[in-house]
Amino acid sequence: MSQLRDLSAVDALYASGYFGPKAHEAPEFYWASLMGALLPYKDDEGRPLGEEMAPSHVQAGVPMEMRECPYAGSRRKHAHPMNVSSLRQFNQHWPAVVGGLAVLRNAYLKQAQRPLDGPITMVDLWKFSRLGVALSAYLLRRGQLPLQDGHLPAVTAILYRMLLGINRVAHLQVLIIISAGLYDQMEALDPAVLYEFTDANELFIGMNSVCAGPRGLIEDSFRVLISGQLPPQADPGPVSALVSRPFLEYGNLLMGLDAQKYLFGVRATSLAHELSRQLSQPRAGEPGPGELAAALEAYQRGTEEQVSSLAREVAAAEQEVRERTVRDLERFRAELDQEQHAISGQGLGAQTRELEALTFPEDTPARVMALLEKARPAGPALRPFAEALTEYLRLERANLAIFERLQGRIEHALGRDGATLQLGNTDVMKAFGPKLRDFASEFFSLDIQSGAQRTVLRHGADTLVL
């Protein structure tokens, strides 16, 4: 038995900004993740939502009993211990927790006008688990009667921790399904198979602890999310009292924000990756490699850890895989939007498609190229670079407008009408890491300011407004 004492590594992550802002510190667009935005908050029993991943000052005085894990499989006698104190709280609230799983699942399906007994896919498991993680965020952020730190019901804190783990499993499975082109062939879910997948891929092992839940409890949780059937001991009351139509609207919009971020990240990173290939490994008729190609390749290597792993993996794949991934992500986004329409009566699909159809005048690449040529002549590679940069700036501007509208709808679901968000290129850097615009600014000594309404490129006395 041991008490976690050395939390310097955890505190260093917080100090570095790894987890992003807390839920009260910034709108949802800026959150690095739902996990990171909620880790430091406490429930009404004084336990941090992040348990042993909360910063040291939040853990101070909280019982945190750690033991070697006895369960079979990847967790058994692992170097990381399991959190017995967290498991103890979990067991105390198990009837409300398992009841809450069914409530979240069934309320979402009912409000989205889907049958409760219809087939449940891995994408659905991702949605249900994401919804449960979002419940604490909604209670903290809602406009009317928001809960303060230390007042979140313990059952919502437990659901947050538990469903973070399940969402981790579903997220990986969905990515595998999409990358393999199997979106239309998702098989029925089986709790035992899900458990084995989780164990085989070491998803029970966290940054400084392992999952403390026994196999039976974990499989039962999967089973309730799949079937929606309440076990005899379940108590749906506590979570039923917290789940409302505005919450379901909010949860769905957060998923839509995720989907839009995936799409923008994949498209922007793939654009830069293809340009780098074109400049560094030219095909017949394409400009030969030169200073610009070498600089772009070095920039991508130096910044790759700041770009999402999904975007990097898709960008490095064959063109067919990239195109299929984008199509499946668009399909996923469309499904969420259809469900949003059923929940709130107002989807975002038509507005999003209209914004994504943004075009620049035909002479824009030539005008961009002329400005780049003045700033730093780079030979024949300048033309394809100017074309790619123009496409990136078009893509960025369209997505800034989409993200502003999404955040506006999120604020509406929270009952916080009047709050507006105006995004620019610095916000893209915060949320997605360096992009082609940032390289262009550095290599050509440009000042590029992007927004949802216009983009301005400056070099010395020369200005180009798009």
Rounded to whole angstroms, the Cα distance separating 124 from 248 reads: 14
Residue 314, number of CB atoms within 10 A of its CB: 25
Over the stretch 56-104, which tens digit does the pLDDT of each residue have? 999 999 999 999 999 999 999 999 999 999 999 999 999 999 999 999 9
Mean pLDDT over each residue of the chain, to the nearest integer:
92
326 in Cβ contact with 178 (< 8 Å): no
pLDDT > 80? residue 2:
no
Tokens for 381, please give them: 């590679």
Helix/strand/coil percent split, the chain, to 5: 60, 5, 35
Rounded to whole angstroms, the Cα distance separating 336 from 124 reads: 10
| Residue 311 one-letter amino acid | A
Closest CA to 135 of 164, 108, 156, 120: 156
The pLDDT value recorded for residue 285 is: 66
Residue 62, number of CB atoms within 10 A of its CB: 15
Bridge partners of 459, per DSSP, are 462
- 3-state secondary structure (DSSP) of residue 432: helix
Tokens for 220, please give them: 């039962």
Closest CA to 280 of 304, 301, 258: 301
Residues in the chain: 466
DSSP assignment of 293-340: HHHHHHHHHHHGGGS-HHHHHHHHS-HHHHHHHHHHHHHHHHHHHHHH
Strand pairing report for 65-67 and 2-3: antiparallel
Q: Give the C-alpha distances (Å, rounded to integers) separating 419 from 102, 398, 413, 432, 441.
A: 33, 21, 12, 23, 31
| Residue 464 one-letter amino acid | L
Strand pairing report for 65-67 and 462-465: unpaired
Over the stretch 399-427, which tens digit does the pLDDT of each residue have? 999 999 999 999 999 999 877 889 999 99
Tokens for 65, please give them: 């009993």
Closest CA to 174 of 124, 224, 132: 124
| Residue 189 one-letter amino acid | L
Residue 43 — pLDDT band, cuts 50, 70, 90? Answer: very high
Over the stretch 95-152, which tens digit does the pLDDT of each residue have? 999 999 999 999 999 999 999 998 899 999 999 999 999 999 999 999 999 999 999 9
Rounded to whole angstroms, the Cα distance separating 82 from 90 reads: 13
- 3-state secondary structure (DSSP) of residue 2: strand
Cα 109 to chain centroid distance, Å, stands at 22
Rounded to whole angstroms, the Cα distance separating 260 from 208 reads: 31
The pLDDT value recorded for residue 4 is: 47
Residue 216 — pLDDT band, cuts 50, 70, 90? Answer: very high
The pLDDT value recorded for residue 34 is: 85
DSSP state of 451: B
DSSP assignment of 83-143: EHHHHHHHHHTHHHHHHHHHHHHHHHHHHTT--TTS---HHHHHHHHHHHHHHHHHHHH-S
Over the stretch 170-206, which tens digit does the pLDDT of each residue have? 998 888 888 788 887 777 789 999 999 999 999 999 9
Tokens for 233, please give them: 């001991």
The pLDDT value recorded for residue 347 is: 93
pLDDT > 90? residue 304:
no
The pLDDT value recorded for residue 287 is: 60
Closest CA to 135 of 268, 240, 283, 261: 240
Residues 6+ apart with CB under 8 A from 301: none
Rounded to whole angstroms, the Cα distance separating 30 from 11 reads: 21
